[in-house]
A and B are shown apart, each in its own frame.
Chain A
Amino acid sequence: MSTTVHVDVTVNGERREADVEARLLLVHWLRDQLGLTGTHVGCDTTNCGACTVHLNGEAVKSCTLLTAQADGGEVTTIEGLSGGDGLHPVQAAFMDKHGLQCGFCTPGMIMAAADLLARNPNPSDEEIRHGLEGNLCRCTGYHNIVEAVKSAAGQGVSA
């Protein structure tokens, strides 16, 4: 019985082992101990989605996950999304369609959008809007975020 836990997690392709406090949330491990500050915290209640990362290829809210629960898993953060030097298509589309302003919700929004397109490569506008219902943005009014996701999906984009 212990308040610390040994974890072995592959983060952005790199194996990381650590003894962490059992109550350490995944988002705090990523931000405060691994220095991956692209993942943000915007609320206390699993609403805003700014902390969205991928765990084993699926979007999760890292503020509602103990680091211990990610043990043995693969975590991808915004810093590792492209897997290389270039941009992931969703990242490129957010820039091209002006899908961000202050940029704070953006990493979580991009991670959620990437998961959405993985689940549904050709979503309708309605499916995009519902697919992003777990991520709040105060700046963009969502319009250009939806345009960016459509663009990344290779769909026609209205002007």
Chain B
Amino acid sequence: MITAPFDYEAPESVDEAVRMLHENGEDAKLLAGGHSLLPLMKMRLAAPTVLVDLRKVPGLHGIREENGGFHIGPMTRHADLQDATELGVVARAASEIADQQVRNRGTIGGSLAHGDPASDLPTVLLVTEGSVTARGSNGERAIAAADLFQDYLTTSLAHDEVITGVQLPSLQGYGFGYRKFTRRAEDWAMVGVCALVSRAPDGTCDDVRIGLTHMGATPLRATAAEDALRGSSLDDAAIAGAAEHAADGTDPPGDLNATPDYKRHLARVLTRRALEEAVSV
């Protein structure tokens, strides 16, 4: 399949990229790894008239420690994340994205900006309570993950804003579990659950965060399940009890592979399993 024609630009700075996006309006799109945008363009489900490729912009790659957590450059590829085991659940989730060829090209910034509720990394950023830094024509700002994902394939990024960094807070003391349910290994999540759990000195649950993939128009937090577990024991019964609330209040989209009911069921099962994994490490 062949995309519609477009103008192509490869600026050498973020400011230049912002300017190009700004000048060309809504029809201009940013290109990072291209593994979300190009498939849509090949099917002619998207037809931007200008592509602004970030490949020549320096300083957007790599992982470094920062404020006890990590700063991840937006052009850092899933393949780099999957090898960075110090990133914990981020590395784990990245290793389960699509296939190795896709991971060799897809980037964290692109994934977050695309805002696909079926993708792995938006949920992980939400659960880790990370944020992105974005620069646009009105300067730079930080956007918390909870504010980033607005609707299906829609984020709070302005069309001329470029993600310049991804901030991952320290997750010291948290165990994690990640459960992605697919029909085939290379598929998107039918439902995915990312769980973080920390223990109080007495062994009870000090904090718990549960994120749901593909359970709504955006990645979601399973707050009812979190509330049920926070402060309680972390034995099997408590976890199972909390997991029963994982789908509370959700209205997941049905599709070829899963009805909303089935998705809610999967969310409960996978939440229990992710929590069990999180407390086992």
Contacts and interface: CB of A to CB of B under 8 A. Distances in A.
B105 A65 contact: yes
14 contacts: A1-B9, A2-B7, A23-B2, A44-B1, A44-B43, A55-B104, A59-B101, A60-B101, A61-B105, A64-B42, A68-B8, A115-B104, A133-B100, A134-B98
B115 to A, nearest CB: 19
Interface stretch (B32-40, B135-143, B271-279): B32-40
Interface of A: 1-3, 5, 21-23, 25, 44-47, 49, 52, 55, 58-61, 63-66, 68-69, 71, 112, 115-116, 119, 130-131, 133-135
B99 to A, nearest CB: 3
A60 B100 CA distance: 8
A112 B137 CA distance: 41
Interface residues of B, number: 32
A5 B10 CA distance: 10
Q: Classify the secondary structure of A's interface with B.
A: mixed
Nearest to B103: A134
Given A25-B2, A45-B43, A61-B101, 7 more contacts: A60-B104, A63-B42, A64-B105, A66-B38, A112-B101, A134-B101, A134-B186
B55 interface: yes
B5 A116 contact: no
Nearest 4 interchain pairs by C-beta: A134-B99, A22-B8, A133-B185, A44-B1
Contacts of A2: 7-8
Contacts, number: 97
Interface in B176-198: 184-186
Contacts of A133: 99-100, 184-186
B100 A131 contact: yes
A69 B55 contact: yes
Contacts of A45: 39, 43
Contacts of A135: 99
